[in-house]
Structure 1
Amino acid sequence: MPDTHETARSETGGRSSAKRKTQIVVVGGGAGGLELVRKLGAKFGRKHHDIILVDRNLSHIWKPLLHEVAAGSLDANLDEVGYRGHCYRWGYRFFQGTLEAIDREARTINLAPVYDDDGELLIAGHSIRYDYLVLAVGSVSNDFGVPGVKEHCIYLDSRPQADKFRTKLLNHCLRVSRAMMTAPDADEQVKVAIVGGGATGVELAAELYNAAGALRHYGLEVFDESRLNVTLLEAGPRILPALPEKLAAAARGELEALGVMVKANTQVIEARSRMLVTSAGEQIEADLMVWAAGVKGADFLSDLGLTTNRRNQIIVRETMQTLDDDRIFALGDCASYTPAGEDTPVPPRAQAAHQMAGTVFDNIVRSLKGKPLKSFTYQDKGSLISLSRFSTVGSLMGNLVGGALAVEGRMARFIYTSLYRLHLIGIHGWIKGLFLMLIGRVNRIVRPRLKLH
């Protein structure tokens, strides 16, 4: 397959050959991948290096914000980052596409064809060469093979999925509002079942009540929180297992005060149309069902010829290089790294992706200079869970003080918000990052509280 993105090819027939640029390809424009290409572009520019980002989407939205997009609390059109504009600013190139295969001998990646919404071919399948390749494709929801989940539940892995949930949610809220206007005594509710008591499930449950409380101001005069019925299901003994038990209990109390029915030790064994079935035989009816019970690597990762674990994550060494090829790195949720002396791998969190991106950047620079590579050291900064405007809980500096520094309330909310601000600086640099923070403050005042379209 011809290399359609070769930047400088050898000339034949007696003419001198132009020096080929060093080509660094990053597949995946999530938090880690986008930060990496920004730093590589800023470091090398375009003169002697060709930095390429490949992603199937045209824009980036920070994954920890998808629950707000799903509830309508965040307008992704205002917070997303368009790759084409970002690449122009930071000196890299962007190509839309989906990774299909890696030819390690030829050092090329193959991208699948791209079609528009009508099925018309936009971009034919092609290959891109690389001198260094970084895989940062993130993760997808893990349904653990539970029957019916793919057919009947909604995941929150991407913006299109979050938009789909928001549209369905608003339609059900409108249905209930109209029913209450025609029959005020009717016991109509919007029933939402969320499977998974981790950060995504807990934050979505709280955000739904924030959105429901605001809908009355946007044309649904007879709809309020009392018309929302949310059930949160967790297979383990408690929600938020990454937090100390005291904080997890505080979060559960806050959720139950909002009206969420929290059911721990409840394993879902089947999903049906508008119904979840538990191992105890209970049938939980719901208009909307969200699956947020864990993540794994996408299935195609196990077909790339690289060593993966049972969750399709690429196993990497302490340098973030794959076990099979020194020129291929992996970072973020799609990578699995277990530090020496540890029993469990680094957890799939945004902070891990950020730290891995820094190590990969340093090691690519070191490799180009012929220097020894650095080892990745994960610094656990702790975990923070936002319960929308109602509360925030978490623990800080997890591996420094054993997670004993608990924070709640306004301080926790300030730190949680600061994480997104650090993400903005990571992908935009200090100057534009600070301006975007200022714009975000203004938007909170002037824009509607909910996105209803």
Structure 2
Amino acid sequence: MGEAQQDKAARVVIVGGGVAGLEIASALGKLRDPHTASVTLVDADSAHVWKPMLHTIAAGTRDLAQQQTTYLAQATDARFAYQPGAMEGLDRARKEIILSAICAPDGREMVPARRIGYDKLVIAVGSGANDFGTPGVLEHCYMIDSRRKADDFNREIRLRMVRGMTEGETLQVAIVGAGATGVELAAELVQLSESAEAYGALGRAAKFRIVLIEAGPRILPSFPEEISQATQQRLEHLGVRVLVGRRVQAALANGLLLDGDEVIPAGLSVWAAGVKAPSFLAQLGLPVTRGNQLIVNDDLQTADPDIYAVGDCASYTLPGQSTPLPPTAQVAHQQARYLIELLPKVLASRQPYAGKGFAYRDFGALVSLANYDAYGSLGKFGLFNGGMIKGRLAMLSHIWLYRSHQARLYGFWRGGLLWLVDLMNSRLRPTIRLD
């Protein structure tokens, strides 16, 4: 930055309050000198939920109110500013992001479209499910790729359970996509069904059937094959019907049309297949992939050196590799840590500053089957050279990932207290959402 810019506080704007965006805003807000930098987080929602937990919110096996982080409260605690709104465009010449108007549910415009200026911009808007242009998906399928969508699905399944309790009908839930989200949702719905038995007539209503459909040759395609096989066997033992190598041709009002013209009846259909970044990213004048992800360099910069992208909406390929890093919470967190170290140095430098380059360490992957089981693959680093863990150790590792995220947001002691509160609530409150 030039002399004139150094005389005023640099404006750091972070768009998207997911795993990466909220960790960056919280860390920079606590580190910053208010005379040299301001930090603003922009998000269309009012609260954050750790994305790998959304399937538990959708099933109602965890309480949304207990697990969400309200942006206004976090902004106060971590000393950054929060602005509600959805980014829809970018004016790079004036260094401004363009936010769409905020409207009430009945269509009234509450806040007009507006602009927010930046000196350094971090885009961390995440991703959503990819319908691949399949007919009927947007009209007939639920998606659980955001806090609001997960809550919408939970509200609907509770209504269907009430209908089943009063009319005696059996609900079949079809889940398309057997990656981690689809697999974990299937297990949580089994837990919902079994937990509901403790609540009288509701238990009879919750005896619904679950069908998990995967177009590829096996479930959990990004995991080692032994984990895929073990997970499928466990799901089938729990009563989940698993279909692999079957492609959905269309979503219908009452089910799914598969290849071969087979119809799978379903009262509720969930689309958890594929990943795609928001479409507006392709209109910013910056290089993107076919999935709308912004292409970034070793410092996670886009083609514009003042604009960075991290998490699911960014595409970064490690040196010597042919495929980009996967859109996972692990990648998002490591990219966030890199920018937390890099951006203060960039802001302090009077000359263009290049970092040491983002280095990714693969710590493996975990999949949790509710309270029944868990499986994990170990990364290839240090003393580890791949391998598999399962059962209690894998479950504790999965829990630790979430608690580590909370500690990064709230600090060690407050994060620990939240863990204690969750343990107490698990003993004192209903095991499933009943309101």
TM-score where L is the length of structure 2: 0.95
Deviation digits for residues 135-165 of structure 1 (CA, Å, limit 9, x no counterpart): 0000011000111111110011112211221
2:51 maps to 1:51: no
- Give the AA of the match of 2:251: A
Instruction: Give 3-state SS (helix, strand or coil) of 2:201's partner.
Output: coil
Using the TM superposition, give the Cα deviation of residue 171 of structure 1 relative to its aligned residue in structure 2, in angstroms.
2.0
- CA distance in structure 1 between the aligned counterparts of 2:324 and 2:194, rounded to whole angstroms: 40
Question: What is aligned with 1:82?
Answer: 70
Deviation digits for residues 310-341 of structure 1 (CA, Å, limit 9, x no counterpart): 0000000011000x210100000000001111
- CA distance in structure 2 between the aligned counterparts of 1:113 and 1:20, rounded to whole angstroms: 29
- Give the AA of the match of 2:106: D
Using the TM superposition, give the Cα deviation of residue 400 of structure 1 relative to its aligned residue in structure 2, in angstroms.
5.8
The within-5 A match list for 1:308-323 is: 308-322=288-302
- Give the AA of the match of 2:422: G
- Give the AA of the match of 2:227: L
- Give the AA of the match of 1:450: I
Using the TM superposition, give the Cα deviation of residue 192 of structure 1 relative to its aligned residue in structure 2, in angstroms.
0.5
Question: What is aligned with 1:3?
Answer: none
CA 375–18 in structure 1, closer or farther in 2 if over 3 Å, else same: closer
2:271 maps to 1:291: yes
The structure 2 residue matched to 1:30, chosen from 18, 42, 45, is 18
Instruction: Give 3-state SS (helix, strand or coil) of 1:141's partner.
Output: coil
2:373 maps to 1:391: yes
2:150 maps to 1:168: no
- Give the AA of the match of 2:361: Q
Answer yes or no: is the 8 Å Cα contact 1:395–1:403 preserved in 2.
Answer: no
Using the TM superposition, give the Cα deviation of residue 108 of structure 1 relative to its aligned residue in structure 2, in angstroms.
1.0
CA 146–174 in structure 1, closer or farther in 2 if over 3 Å, else same: same
The structure 2 residue matched to 1:103, chosen from 86, 91, 94, is 91
CA 296–53 in structure 1, closer or farther in 2 if over 3 Å, else same: same
Count of residue correspondences: 429
Question: What is aligned with 1:301?
Answer: 281
The structure 2 residue matched to 1:154, chosen from 142, 145, 149, is 142
Question: What is aligned with 2:234?
Answer: 254
Compute the RMSD of aligned alpha carbons.
1.8
- Give the AA of the match of 2:289: N
- CA distance in structure 1 between the aligned counterparts of 2:187 and 2:378, rounded to whole angstroms: 22
Question: What is aligned with 1:337?
Answer: 316
Whose Rg is larger?
1
TM-score where L is the length of structure 1: 0.91
Instruction: Give 3-state SS (helix, strand or coil) of 1:223's partner.
Output: helix
- CA distance in structure 2 between the aligned counterparts of 1:221 and 1:115, rounded to whole angstroms: 37
Which stretch of the first structure deviates more once superposed, 120-129 or 255-264? 120-129
Answer yes or no: is the 8 Å Cα contact 2:130–2:275 preserved in 1.
Answer: yes
Structure 1 gaps of 5+ residues are 1-9, 11-16, 181-187
Instruction: Give 3-state SS (helix, strand or coil) of 1:143's partner.
Output: coil
Using the TM superposition, give the Cα deviation of residue 97 of structure 1 relative to its aligned residue in structure 2, in angstroms.
0.6
The structure 2 residue matched to 1:270, chosen from 245, 250, 253, is 250
Using the TM superposition, give the Cα deviation of residue 18 of structure 1 relative to its aligned residue in structure 2, in angstroms.
11
2:425 maps to 1:446: no
Using the TM superposition, give the Cα deviation of residue 102 of structure 1 relative to its aligned residue in structure 2, in angstroms.
1.1
- CA distance in structure 2 between the aligned counterparts of 1:379 and 1:280, rounded to whole angstroms: 42
- Give the AA of the match of 1:252: Q
Instruction: Give 3-state SS (helix, strand or coil) of 1:340's partner.
Output: coil
- CA distance in structure 1 between the aligned counterparts of 2:188 and 2:213, rounded to whole angstroms: 16
- Give the AA of the match of 2:396: F
Using the TM superposition, give the Cα deviation of residue 405 of structure 1 relative to its aligned residue in structure 2, in angstroms.
2.0
2:409 maps to 1:427: yes
Question: What is aligned with 2:194?
Answer: 213
Using the TM superposition, give the Cα deviation of residue 386 of structure 1 relative to its aligned residue in structure 2, in angstroms.
0.5
Deviation digits for residues 329-364 of structure 1 (CA, Å, limit 9, x no counterpart): 000000000111111100000010000011112221
Answer yes or no: is the 8 Å Cα contact 1:152–1:273 preserved in 2.
Answer: yes
Deviation digits for residues 339-398 of structure 1 (CA, Å, limit 9, x no counterpart): 111111000000100000111122212212335312111111111100001100111224
Deviation digits for residues 237-270 of structure 1 (CA, Å, limit 9, x no counterpart): 0001122111111110110011100000011111
Structure 2 gaps of 5+ residues are none
Answer yes or no: is the 8 Å Cα contact 1:382–1:403 preserved in 2.
Answer: no
Answer yes or no: is the 8 Å Cα contact 2:193–2:203 preserved in 1.
Answer: no
2:399 maps to 1:417: yes
Which stretch of the first structure deviates more once superposed, 52-61 or 117-126? 117-126
After superposing on structure 2, the runs of 4+ consecutive aligned residues of structure 1 that deviate more than 4 Å are: 398-403
Deviation digits for residues 34-56 of structure 1 (CA, Å, limit 9, x no counterpart): 00011111111433311000000
Question: What is aligned with 2:360?
Answer: 378
- CA distance in structure 2 between the aligned counterparts of 1:359 and 1:374, rounded to whole angstroms: 10
Which stretch of the first structure deviates more once superposed, 263-272 or 430-439? 430-439
Question: What is aligned with 1:138?
Answer: 126
- Give the AA of the match of 1:62: W
Deviation digits for residues 402-442 of structure 1 (CA, Å, limit 9, x no counterpart): 86321000010000100001110122222221221222211
CA 257–396 in structure 1, closer or farther in 2 if over 3 Å, else same: same
- CA distance in structure 1 between the aligned counterparts of 2:155 and 2:200, rounded to whole angstroms: 16
Answer yes or no: is the 8 Å Cα contact 2:10–2:347 preserved in 1.
Answer: no
Q: Percent identity?
A: 39
